[in-house]
Amino acid sequence: MTAGISPGSRLLELYAMLLFNDREYSLTELSSRLQCSKQTVLRLVTDLDEGGTGIERVAKGNRSFYRIPRARRPRATLPLTDDELEVLLMCRAFTSHLLGREHFTAAMRAVDKTAKLHQGGRDPDRSAFGVYRPGVIDYTPHYGNLSTLVQGLEKHRVCEVAYRRLQDKEPKVFRIKPLKIFSHHETIYVHARYAKMPDQVFKNPGYDPLFALHRFAGVALTDTPFKPVTDYDFDKVFNKHFGVIKGKTFKVKAELWGWAANFTAERKLNPDQTIRQKKDGRIEVGFTSTSEPEVMAWILSLGSSARLLAPKALVERLKTELSEVINNYK
């Protein structure tokens, strides 16, 4: 939603979110989704509650969550508009390659059922949207592991996993508390916290590990519960800085020209990105990152139309990498 949206539209969006979902929403999440302050969200909740919607507030620790219990929801079936069905079909198409066969079949059933609520008799198989599949991971074999991880996340149960990193010959077994499942560059990731293994002393590593779903060799749901994590903010962890790998933050500066300048100007690498236009048509882009390998991959992807300026240590590392690449062709 845009910053200039009317209070009435925000009120309707909040009502729709709570009405059509069984889940609870935190005040922070509602504020982010509606793009307004927490105080505004509280006023909207009060307005809806005074209208008899029956919003339920649930306190978990020092956080408040909101939902409309299923028993208080109207049972009337609402027809879909053309725009609503179009958005649903677009979401199905754009995520089909990440779902795997079983999840995609479930999504197809959901779309088919929902399409029946459309008064125009729209055929969901004749959608305007498609997806480019070459080079993507087939998640069909990982359906079971994904489902188990979702259960662990939703039920707050520890999962025992067997995971094989790229450099490992055999998977290693340990336990995790799943926090969030998300996609990035055609790959599904699981962000988690380590949990204690039975009969072993637990040593907190001081960071929350990130796993690629397709590298799990097995996932089992244990009977061990864990307390809901109240100090976790996905957007703060992943959407403030460039790079899915999370290390120490550092400032990046690069000079771009030609197609690379236009290509980069169309995108937002992170919220504090700056672009300075030079007289010769070049641009100087600055942003904050947490991942040196991803910055190197980004600058190399722009070929001969880009030059990394800072940090200096990474510039030297990039020069070494380029020398080794050139040697591969001698």
Query: 225: which residues sit within 8 A by CB, 6+ positions away?
Result: 155, 156, 157, 158
Mind listing the pLDDT tens digit for each residue in 183-192?
888 899 999 9
Kindly provide the residue ranges of all beta strands, DSSP E only, lying in the chain, ordered along the sequence.
25-26, 56-60, 63-67, 157-163, 172-184, 187-195, 210-212, 216-225, 250-256, 274-277, 283-289, 306-310
Give the model's confidence band at 73: pLDDT under 50 very low, under 70 low, under 90 confident, else very high. low
Highest mean pLDDT range out of 3-7, 255-259, 265-269?
Answer: 255-259
In-domain check, residue 134: no
Domain tally for the chain?
A: 4
Position with higher pLDDT, 181 vs 61? 181
Give the model's confidence band at 48: pLDDT under 50 very low, under 70 low, under 90 confident, else very high. confident
Residues 198 and 245 in one domain: no
pLDDT given at position 118: 52
Structure tokens at 309: 């300026």
175 has pLDDT over 70: yes
Mind listing the pLDDT tens digit for each residue in 298-327?
999 999 999 999 999 999 999 999 999 999
Under 8 Å between Cβ of 118 and 79: yes
87 has pLDDT over 50: yes
Average pLDDT of the residues in 52-69: 81
- Helix 143-155 and helix 82-115: axis angle, to 10°? 110
Q: Note the maximum CA span of the chain.
A: 75
Residues 61 and 107 in one domain: no
Residues 51 and 90 in one domain: no
Under 8 Å between Cβ of 250 and 296: no
pLDDT given at position 319: 97
pLDDT given at position 268: 92
Residues 272 and 215 in one domain: no
**Residue 38 sits in a domain of what CATH number?**
1.10.10.10
119 has pLDDT over 60: no
**Looking at residue 138, what DSSP letter applies?**
-
**Residue 309 sits in a domain of what CATH number?**
3.30.70
Q: Would you mind telling me the total number of residues written for the chain in this entry?
A: 330
Residues 307 and 264 in one domain: yes
106 has pLDDT over 80: no
Residues 27 and 54 in one domain: yes
Residues 102 and 31 in one domain: no
Range of the domain at 205: 140-225
Residues 86 and 62 in one domain: no
Mind listing the pLDDT tens digit for each residue in 201-213?
988 898 999 999 9
Position with higher pLDDT, 40 vs 218? 218
In-domain check, residue 235: no
In-domain check, residue 132: no
In-domain check, residue 117: yes
Average pLDDT of the residues in 87-116: 61
Q: What average pLDDT does the structure give for the chain? A: 84
Average pLDDT of the residues in 23-52: 82
Mind listing the pLDDT tens digit for each residue in 120-152?
555 555 667 677 778 888 888 898 899 899 999
Residues 270 and 305 in one domain: yes
Q: Which of 225, 252, 269 is the last residue of a domain?
A: 225
pLDDT given at position 1: 39
Q: Which of 225, 249, 267 is the last residue of a domain?
A: 225
In-domain check, residue 231: no
In-domain check, residue 230: no
In-domain check, residue 135: no
Task: Tell me how far apart the alpha carbons of residues 204 and 53 are, in angstroms, rounded to a whole number.
Answer: 44
Residue 88 Cα distances to 47, 95, 108, 111, angstroms: 29, 11, 11, 7
Position with higher pLDDT, 4 vs 258? 258
Of residues 134, 153, 263, the one with CA closest to residue 211: 153
Mind listing the pLDDT tens digit for each residue in 217-253?
999 999 999 998 888 999 999 999 999 999 999 999 9
